[in-house]
Chains A and B, each alone.
Chain A
Amino acid sequence: MHNKSISELASGLRAGEFSSVELVQHYLGRIGSLDKGLNSFITVCGERAMAQARAADEQLASGVTGPLTGIPIAQKDIFCTQGVKTSCGSRMLDSFISPYDATVVSKLQAAGAVTLGKANMDEFAMGSSNETSWYGPVKNPWDTDKVPGGSSGGSAAAVAARLCAAATGTDTGGSIRQPAAFCGITGLKPTYGRVSRYGMIAFASSLDQGGPMTRSAEDAALMLQVMAGVDNRDSTSVDEPVPDYSVTLGDDLDGLRIGLPKEYFDAGLDAEVAASIDLAIAEYKKLGAEVVEITLPNTALAVPTYYVVAPAECSSNLARFDGVRYGHRCDDPKDLEDLYKRSRSEGFGAEVKRRILIGTYALSAGYYDAYYLKAQQIRHLISDDFKRAFERVDVIMGPTTPSTAFGIGEKADDPVTMYLSDIYTIAVNLAGLPGMSIPVQPVSGRPVGLQLIGNYFAEAKLLNVAHRLQQATEWHLAAPDGFE
């Protein structure tokens, strides 16, 4: 049952082959027996999920159903879920029971999806390995000594291990695509503004974007269909029509122009990963695509620029955690300043504090022009690189990450090395473009992600391009040992 696609599960439910209650019980059973070794969930919503499943079965019996009625999914613990602990992977919000639903949560629930639980993540989405979570690291189901990637590491591990049919993630600098690559699943970061950020706990507001994490492009299309759309509660969401992502999935790729940025295939790329990417590109040529070498000359500036923009916005966003209205409060504060300082210092972990400090410094008097303003200018240059590229090509491809999943603890003490591992994903966020990672041929049993980058609002094209590869190959069907 857990290897079926969302559409297979939906037709099985409609045909009465199994009920949503049976399906949810099956997944809860898998979580109960298999997640101890992975730690991909912070909260499992057993009773709540069973109640949602019973409601789904009533809907199925009455014939009035939504597109995801009875389908069990996981929500990244960054999405506020009413009545459920929403921790954002932080001690700061360990006691936070959300009083409202994020738009993504309410849309998925309205579509009939059942929330199995809240997926583990790097604290406040700051991390590339899921090691910064207050709830402990998540393990990669393909090799439990390796990280699952981050920050949506719990979502990626849970989808790869077949502990849910699909999950939500968020991506500020690669946090959907990099864990999707490390865990061998399909992840899509939509165009900035495509999916509402309302109720999605803010990290860097000009970069954050929610998206689906699934086992196939076909499933991602179904999830994004529900998640996307303008929302009057998020003034940065864009009022652009949402196309039917499923109808164009099978479109022919004949004449598709694929751009390969030479900067994404330089000396920093692992040779075996490069070979897997080449193999996938060769498949695309068989499908009728043409390959064009392109250049994104400002690629090397993406990481430095990001580590000004993201911390600056994070220091501002995380100022709300003051120990007064919600979240962690220290014991016996002696005055208001002590209340703020100790509550925040006890509530936040080392990486979050590091980024708040960098951001506070970059925004402090006298430094704004040299850091934030400069970064926003370079961001324009990076965005222009892509604009020029999309005059010549339909989609840009390259590796999602320079290597396969690294070891737990391997980079934890070296933040800058950890930051540089997001070299291929970060520019996409700075430009606000949609990006996707899909599994290609693994290296020594470890998954490799092919990154697809599209023009603004070209999600349908990305899903189509991803789907055609998944029809022609079987890389996306592989399951980790012990989770088949």
Chain B
Amino acid sequence: MSLVRDDVEKIAHLARLAVNGDELDSVAAGLSDILQMVEQMSSVDTAGVTPMAHPLHMTQPLRPDRVTEENRRDLFQSIAPQTEDGLYLVPKVIE
């Protein structure tokens, strides 16, 4: 599988990353090299093989649905780039 500029632009948008126009070709080539290495997987017959979700085949433990965390909003917001009245600020989304 080899990727071209358009593919990289599309993937970068999905990942919310900006890739400069002059870097698109080299990024596409780099990703294609990796995908080519990964391509080795397709030679393996995996029909009927269960995908491995957890190395120890464990199920998720359950706990009672009770609030156990205390509110530490002020502490957490003290490291935020921009806050106001307990809210995180971002550029205007709805005009």
Contacts and interface: CB of A to CB of B under 8 A. Distances in A.
A114 to B, nearest CB: 25
Contact of B72 (A99, A323, A341, A353): A99
Nearest to A376: B51
A360 to B, nearest CB: 4
A381 B19 CA distance: 37
B82 A329 contact: yes
B17 interface: yes
Interface string A423-459: 0000000111100000000000000000000001000
A339 B44 contact: no
A383 B81 CA distance: 44
Residue of A232, A358, A371 with most chain B CB atoms under a 10 A cut-off = A358
Contact of A357 (B15, B33, B51, B63): B15
What are the 6 A-B residue pairs with the smallest beta carbon separation, nearest first? A432-B55, A376-B51, A329-B81, A377-B46, A340-B16, A360-B15
Interface stretch (A125-133, A255-263, A342-350): A342-350
A305 B55 contact: no
A370 to B, nearest CB: 8
Interface in B48-95: 49-56, 58, 60-61, 63, 72, 75-76, 78-82, 88, 90-93
A279 interface: no
Contacts of A301: 40-41, 44
10 contacts: A206-B55, A325-B80, A333-B90, A334-B91, A354-B30, A358-B35, A361-B11, A381-B44, A416-B34, A433-B55
B44 A415 contact: no
B16 A344 contact: yes
A422 to B, nearest CB: 12
A357 B31 contact: yes
A354 B8 CA distance: 11
A193 B15 contact: no
Interface residues of A, number: 72
Contacts of A239: 61
A356 B8 CA distance: 12
B3 to A, nearest CB: 8
B22 interface: no
Given A304-B40, A342-B18, A324 B52 contact: no
Interface residues of B, number: 50
Contact of A341 (B18, B27, B30): B18
A260 B50 CA distance: 28
Nearest to A370: B42
A145 interface: no
A366 to B, nearest CB: 12
A327 B88 CA distance: 13
Given A324-B88, A377-B51, A315 B15 contact: yes
A293 interface: no
Contacts of A324: 80-81, 88, 90
B50 A358 contact: no
Interface of B: 3, 7-8, 11-12, 14-19, 27, 30-31, 33-35, 37-42, 44, 46, 49-56, 58, 60-61, 63, 72, 75-76, 78-82, 88, 90-93
A315 B46 CA distance: 25
B82 to A, nearest CB: 7
A357 B11 contact: yes
Given A301-B44, A304-B38, A416-B34, A431 B80 contact: no
Contacts of B49: 377-378, 380-381
Interface of A: 95-97, 99, 191-193, 206, 232, 235-236, 238-239, 298, 300-301, 303-305, 307-308, 315, 319, 322-327, 329, 333-342, 344-345, 348, 353-354, 356-358, 360-361, 364, 370-371, 373-381, 383, 415-416, 419-420, 430-433, 456
A58 to B, nearest CB: 28
A373 B51 CA distance: 6
Nearest to A321: B16
Contacts of A339: 90-91
B17 A341 contact: yes
Contact of A305 (B19, B30, B41): B41
Contacts of A338: 91
Contacts of B80: 324-326
B37 A304 contact: yes
Contacts of B81: 323-324, 326-327, 329
Contacts of B37: 303-304, 307, 416, 419-420
Contact of B41 (A322, A335, A336, A378): A378
A415 B30 contact: yes
Given A325-B76, A415-B33, 4 more contacts: A95-B79, A336-B91, A348-B17, A379-B51
Contacts of A334: 91
Given A335-B91, A354-B30, A358-B35, A236 B54 contact: yes
Contacts of B35: 358, 361
A319 B52 CA distance: 23
Contacts of B55: 192-193, 206, 383, 430-433
Given A99-B78, A308-B38, A373-B51, A361 B44 contact: no
